[in-house]
Amino acid sequence: MIDNKSCIGSSSNSSNSLCKNNGKIFCVIGDPVEHSLSPVMHNAVFSSLGLGYRYIAMRVKEHELATTIKMLRERALGFNVTIPHKIRIMDMLDDLDTLCKRVNAVNTVKVDGTRLKGYNTDVYGFIQPLRRRGIELRGKSVMIMGAGGAARAVLIALIDEHVGEVIIASRSVDDNAKAKALYEMAVSNGIECRIVQLEYAKMYSKQSHLIVNATPIGMQGYHGYEDLSILASSDIDSKSIVYDLVYRPMETRLIRNALNANAMVIYGYEMLVEQGAKALDIWLGIDAPRDVMSNAVLRYLHNVGDRHG
Ligand code: NAP
């Protein structure tokens, strides 16, 4: 269950921070949650804006979810939700934003009095770095590698951008219900869609305007798949944009391969920052300082990278 010892990313006196603001907190709940960068990112904002809030991470096991939600109703101003609670929590909330109903996952909850409203900020988080670069996706061909929760948020963002075609490259095509659900969602929104085996991604990559990695391949700590990439440099056209959702390390093997191919790259930490900024807007109505958030995340990633050699 929750005890202050399980809170990370807070000051060493996390029990004191729980007592500030009449005991009201911000937090992320999940299991595992130890590697979440949200405390680093949000606490950097609170301290730079002189807000007296604290953001902590709480490890919450599946059987603890209901009691945790009951406690957070009383004691939180807002919280993030990560694996494995993103879907199950939907039944425990009073209200759901339209977007999180479409994604079928909640990653942000606002506490309003004692009412809880669920949101999904990954859709906004994904699209914002593309918009900031002025990238027009209408009618374009996009390949998404992976068919999990993040891929679903990506697809919804792409539907709203009116892309022309989506290739979903997934490791288990024949009986992958998740890939089929994505296919149905795309075609029912008038987008041409094709599901292909992940190993055939390289046959479609050069014709894709945007390539998104929504698998954990290349992620530090994903044993057997660290420093790997689904696509080699020779599979990437210099006119393509390569967007890796993996943010640890900042420069994944896929990103390095894309840079070698002279393609434009978008880093996973950019999505992380934008989804966090959207959560701060929902909770506090503030336009969060992205530079403060990015600097905090990158400083942390570089330090961890240094420690891991
Ligand atoms: P998820 O729901 O578990 O989905 C992962 C997807 O990757 C599934 O389609 C899975 O295939 C596939 N996959 C996993 N391991 C694979 C392997 N070894 N080979 C081939 N395919 C593999 O996870 P998620 O929430 O979508 O997250 C995916 C990645 O995006 C993670 O690295 C996560 O950290 C990152 N992410 C980043 C942000 C950000 O803000 N930058 C936000 C969300 C997620 P099966 O369906 O066959 O298992």
Is residue 11 within 8 A of residue 54, CB to CB? The reply is yes
Please give the average per-residue pLDDT across 132-148, as a whole number: 97
Residue 114's pLDDT band (cuts 50, 70, 90):
confident
Q: Is the distance from CB of 293 to CB of 41 less than 8 angstroms?
A: yes
Higher pLDDT, 293 or 20: 293
Q: Tell me the average pLDDT of the chain.
A: 91
Distance 246 CA to ligand 1 centre (A): 9
> Is residue 21 pLDDT above 60, yes or no?
yes
What is the pLDDT confidence band of residue 305, given thresholds at 50, 70 and 90? low
Q: How many Å lie between the centroid of ligand 1 and the Cα of residue 58?
A: 22
Higher-confidence residue of 40 and 9: namely 40
Residue 172 pLDDT = 80
Instruction: Quote the crossing angle between the two packed helices 268-284 and 122-132, to the nearest 10°.
Output: 120
Categorize the per-residue pLDDT at 24 as very low, low, confident or very high, splitting at 50, 70 and 90.
confident
Ligand 1 contacts CB of residue 218 (under 6 A): no
**Higher local confidence (pLDDT), 5 or 99:** 99
For the chain, which domains are there? 4-120 (3.40.50.10860), 124-269 (3.40.50.720)
If you average pLDDT over residues 252-256, what whole number do you get?
A: 98
The letter for the amino acid at 154 is: V
Q: Are 282 and 108 in contact (CB under 8 A)?
A: yes
Q: What is the pLDDT of residues 202-235, one digit of tens each?
A: 999 999 999 999 999 999 989 999 999 999 999 9
The model's pTM is 0.92
Q: What pLDDT sits at residue 304?
A: 76
**Of all residues in the chain, what percent carry a pLDDT higher than 70?**
91
Question: In this model, does residue 7 exceed pLDDT 60?
Answer: no
**Pure H helices in the chain:** 14-19, 38-48, 65-75, 98-103, 122-132, 149-160, 177-188, 201-205, 253-260, 268-284, 290-307
Pocket test for ligand 1, best of 82, 143, 215, 298 (most atoms within 8 A of CB): 215
Q: Whose CA is nearest to atom 18 of ligand 1?
A: 217
Per-residue pLDDT for 17 more than 50? Answer: no
As a whole number, mean pLDDT of residues 230-243 equals: 98
Ligand 1 atom showing the smallest separation from residue 216 Cα: 32
pLDDT of residue 11: 34
Task: Mark whether 110 is an active-site residue.
Answer: no
Give yes or no for a cis peptide into 216 (omega within 30° of 0): no
What's the one-letter identity of residue 273?
Answer: V
Least confident of 16-30, 46-60, 146-160, 239-253: 16-30
Q: Is the pLDDT of residue 144 over 70?
A: yes
- Does residue 111 contact residue 78 with C-beta atoms inside 8 Å? yes
How high is the pLDDT of residue 4? 37
Please tell me the predicted confidence (pLDDT) of residue 22: 67
Cβ–ligand 1 distance for 217 under 6 Å, the answer yes
Q: What is the mean pLDDT of residues 259-267?
A: 98
Report which protein residue has its CA nearest ligand 1's atom 34: 246
Residue nearest to atom 32 of ligand 1 (CA): 216
CA 23 / ligand 1 centre spacing (Å): 35
- Ligand 1 within 6 A of CB of 108: no
- Average pLDDT on 164-187 reads 91
Which pLDDT score is estimated for 5? 35
Residue 19 has pLDDT above 70, yes or no: no
Note the pLDDT of residue 45. Answer: 97
Contact yes or no for 252/111 (Cβ under 8 A): no
Catalytic residue among 24, 70, 86, 278: 86
Structure tokens belonging to residue 156? 């919804």
The arrangement of strands across the sheet holding 95-96 comes to 55-59, 25-30, 76-81, 108-112, 115-119, 95-96
Query: Helix crossing, 122-132 with 149-160: angle to 10°?
Result: 50
Tell me if 244 CB under 6 Å of ligand 1.
Answer: no
Tell whether ligand 1 has an atom less than 6 A from the beta carbon of residue 270. no
Does residue 191 have its Cβ closer than 6 Å to ligand 1? no
> Of all helices (H) and strands (E), which one includes residue 78?
strand 76-81
- Report the percent of the chain where pLDDT is more than 90: 84
